[in-house]
Amino acid sequence: MIRSALMNVMTAAAIKAGRGLKRDFGEVENLQVSVKGPGDFVSAADRRAEKTLFEELSRARPGYGFLMEEGGEIEGADKSHRWIVDPLDGTTNFLHGLPIFAINIALEREGLIVAGLTYNPISDEMYVAEKGQGAWVNNRRLRVSARRSIADGLIACGVPPLGRAPLHPHFKSELAAVMAHAGGVRRLGAAALDLALVAAGRFDAFWERGLHPWDMAAGMLLVREAGGYLSDADGGDAIFKSGSICAGNEAIHRHLLQLLRAA
């Protein structure tokens, strides 16, 4: 486990926000059957969790900037540190009562991600990484999978939703290419958890396009610290700029990239 002052701050904030999300998730299950549906309630839950994270992190580290899913960019007096926060990754799952979602906190120092946390408050799995200190889930050290062949591999992906229809044709050709070679393909609906599960060696690789920095920042460090490889989905290093990611163990990341490039 990582026992640093920084990680204490991050885990305390995530646990506090997680308590609220867990309570709200229980409520969503009741709202499923109402005519109005849980839509507005979920947006409010998302905003409440972000407020908790913002307050806790600002109190512990005054002056750091923020990049948040709901609140956007908030400049801090300290220009070298920035928190990247997604209070609820997997919003659609949450909305439908599926317990596959996570709180995400990453810390950037001079533009480099130095700490990351992904927390599912329902399963109580706390994935953490700090630069040079490995990646962990609760008290267990993480390592990417050792599988070499994509034919034995389980590959996670993100399916672009209705609102991102322009991405559909290219996604379909990528999926066809991957299906023709991979042992299996999965779609969880929470990019941060996809990355955490690559770090944990459950998935051998993951790719998705159309993401935001807050969906990926924490998971990127988890994968790196677990010995994995990362690039954008075209094999370059513009992950944030392109909004795309490909992550995996060394062999399967390489093979997956070849398939994506050819699609």
Residues binding ligand IPD (CB under 6 A): 69, 86, 88-91, 158, 189-191, 208, 210-211, 215
Inter-CA distances, 40 with 90, 97, 217, Å: 16, 14, 27
Whichever of 90 and 228 has its CB closer to ligand IPD, that residue is: 90
**Dist CA 78 CA 90 (whole Å):** 31
Q: Which helix (H) or strand (E) covers residue 106, if one does?
A: strand 102-109
Least CB distance to ligand IPD at residue 95 (A)? 9
**Dist CA 30 CA 9 (whole Å):** 33
Whichever of 79 and 187 has its CB closer to ligand IPD, that residue is: 187
42 neighbors 95 (Cβ within 8 angstroms) = yes
Whichever of 62 and 184 has its CB closer to ligand IPD, that residue is: 184
For residue 74, the SS3 value is strand
Whichever of 44 and 146 has its CB closer to ligand IPD, that residue is: 44
Least CB distance to ligand IPD at residue 21 (A)? 12
Least CB distance to ligand IPD at residue 88 (A)? 6
Strand 102-109 to 112-120 pairing: antiparallel
Least CB distance to ligand IPD at residue 102 (A)? 9
